[in-house]
Chain A
Amino acid sequence: EIVLTQSPATLSLSPGDGATLSCGASQSVSNYLAWYQQKPGQAPRLLIYDASNRATGIPARFSGSGSGTDFTLTISSLEPEDFAVYYCQQRSNWPITFGRGTRLEIK
């Protein structure tokens, strides 16, 4: 199965800062990578699909890039509601796999 490695595990930043989250795949997933945001007690929310496409209703401060094995989620200027856990997911090969998450916390 394809292993997705997210880094860092925890990112401590302040509102207004920019954030860069990484996701590395153990083999190429082409552009079949998505990003989700999850807040405590809630279901995940789709942010980015096909590596760089924002899902409906997602603010423009969220952007995704990358292809093959290296991907990045960038949040240009953090809002208070952006502090959450972020997961990447691949659908290139079965089984579908998720990364272990990056916790974005307030510094």
Chain B
Amino acid sequence: QVQLVESGGGVVQPGRSLRLSCAASGFTFGSYGMHWVRQAPGKGLEWVAVVSYDGSKKYYGDSVKGRFSISRDNSRNTLDLQMNSLRIEDTAVYFCAKEFRSTTWYDSWGRGTLVTVSS
């Protein structure tokens, strides 16, 4: 069965960096686009970034563009999110999510990792 496990969250000061990872198993990782979606405490869902199945295309939400970088390693079945210049408003649970049938619907999600940006 599909499994996505995020790691790397924690407490970080504003302006610092953090790198999240998502370990995937149970499917052919290199065949699917992968996304990061976040959810601030008590709030709704916000799409963050996507990387295509082969890593050649990447898109970002306006709120993270220029600060966050998404990448993948298909040989290791991992998805990463490098987060730089973190802001208090980046505080959220970060989910990695798998595309459904090469569409930008999400049929599998990890349990999420909490990032808290605080001084």
B interface, over-half SS? strand
| B105 near A91: Cβ-Cβ < 8 Å | yes
Interface-facing stretch out of B16-24, B39-47, B70-78, B81-89: B39-47
Q: Does A83 contact B (CB under 8 A)?
A: no
| A99 near B95: Cβ-Cβ < 8 Å | no
Residues of A contacting B110 in the complex (Cβ-Cβ under 8 angstroms): 43
Q: Does B27 contact A (CB under 8 A)?
A: no
Instruction: Give the total number of A-B pairs whose CB atoms are below 8 A apart.
Output: 50
Q: How many residues of A contact B (CB 8 A)?
A: 22
| B47 near A96: Cβ-Cβ < 8 Å | yes
Q: Does B118 contact A (CB under 8 A)?
A: no
Q: Does B61 contact A (CB under 8 A)?
A: yes
| B95 near A46: Cβ-Cβ < 8 Å | no
Q: Assuming A43-B95, A43-B112, A46-B107, is B45 touching A95 (CB within 8 A)?
A: no
